[in-house]
Structures are given as structure tokens and as C-alpha cells.
Amino acid sequence: MGMIRQVSTGSPPPRILNLFGYTGGATLAAASAGCAVTHVDSSKAMVTWCSENARLSGMESLPIRYIVEDVLTFLQRELRRGKKYDAVVMDPPAFGRAKGGGLWKLSEHLPSLVDSVHQILSDNPLFLLLNIYSDNLGGLPLDRIAETLNLHGGITVEEPLGLVGTMDGKYLPCGTAYRWSAV
């Protein structure tokens, strides 16, 4: 959040896009740091929950735009409108139901998701965060994700996600987090 606070002192505030926003932890953190946030999730219940969390936290007046829509559909619409964002946070599920009964499969949709997100980044993007909680990416090599994230230059850090057992100390892998930043 230090990077956001440093940039958000200027005008206009950084525009952050939170895709697969769930209950809004990242949305509220970015908004409280001075960003204008667009929170997108295909589940109306999750978007409502985020809005309620903002209200309960006294943040209902912060610049948060709530969108109930399929993420890929939203991205394509924003691209047609010429909208750009300074940072993107993505936390896609491995599998889910899209609006209209369609299926979301991370292994199938991740390449187009990452490509669309790169197109929607502003000319001076701050960062991009991507969490993947599945090792089953249908043959998509994880190296390709880092390559795609680096298209804007900058640096990509890849961090394994996992848990350490309290009784046996064994490590349980839970996915990978990617953090790209311009600096």
C-alpha cells in the first residue's frame, strides 16, 4: 500500500481494478489508501458482501464502483470503451459458473485473462497481482504467466503459496502468487 499512498497524493487518484473481488479485502485496502476502485465479481452475493463490508467499515463514501459481471465480458467492454487502469488485482477461481450458465475454467481462460489485463493497463501502470490456487493449468506453463506479465517491462516476482502443518511441519502447496511492478 506504500506505493499506492505515494502515488495517490497526486490528482487524479490511481484507478485500481479488482477482478474476482469476492468480499472486498483488496478493494477496501486500495480505496482506503486513496484509490478509485472498480470491484468486479460475477456473484451478486459477493459484490453485495463487499458493499456491506465497506459500509460496516465506514468506507461507503470512498470511490468504489461495484460491478456484477463476468470478468472477461467486463474486460472486453472496458477495452472497447478505451478505459485504462493503473493497477489490477486478480484472484481467479480454478473453476466456476459464469453468468448464463457458462463455465469458467482457469486452465482455459487464464491466457486470455492475462492478455486482456495487459491491454487495460495504463501507460504508467503501478502493479499487477495474480493469485493462482491450482496447479492444474491444463498444460499452460507457469513460466508463460511470468513472461506475459513482463510485457510492460518491470519485474515479476513469483511466490509459492502454502501452509505448514502445525503437528508435522510438512508443507502443503496451495498455489502461486505473482506480483508484477514497474519498479
Side chain identity at residue 17, one-letter code: L
pLDDT band at 50 (very low <50, low <70, confident <90, very high): very high
DSSP string across 80-138? HHT--BSEEEE---SEEEPGGG-EEEHHHHHHHHHHHHHHHB-SS--EEEEEE--S--T
Give dist(CA 131, CA 41) in Å, integer. Answer: 15
- pLDDT score recorded for residue 140: 59
Domain count, the chain: 1
Write the CATH number for 168: 3.40.50.150
Domain that residue 152 falls in: 2-181
Would you tell me how many other CB atoms lie within 10 Å of the CB of residue 116? 19
pLDDT band at 139 (very low <50, low <70, confident <90, very high): low
- pLDDT score recorded for residue 133: 83
Q: Which residue has the higher pLDDT, 6 or 136?
A: 136
- pLDDT score recorded for residue 153: 75
Q: What is the pTM of this model?
A: 0.86
Burial pattern 27-66, b for ≥16 Cβ within 10 A else e, equals bbbbbbbbbbbbbbbbeeebbebbbebbeeeebeebebeb
Closest C-alpha to 176, from 102, 65, 92:
92
- Going 52 to 85 to 107 to 42, the CA torsion angle's sign is positive
Would you tell me how many other CB atoms lie within 10 Å of the CB of residue 180? 28
Give dist(CA 66, CA 48) in Å, integer. Answer: 8
Mean pLDDT calculated for residue range 24-30: 96
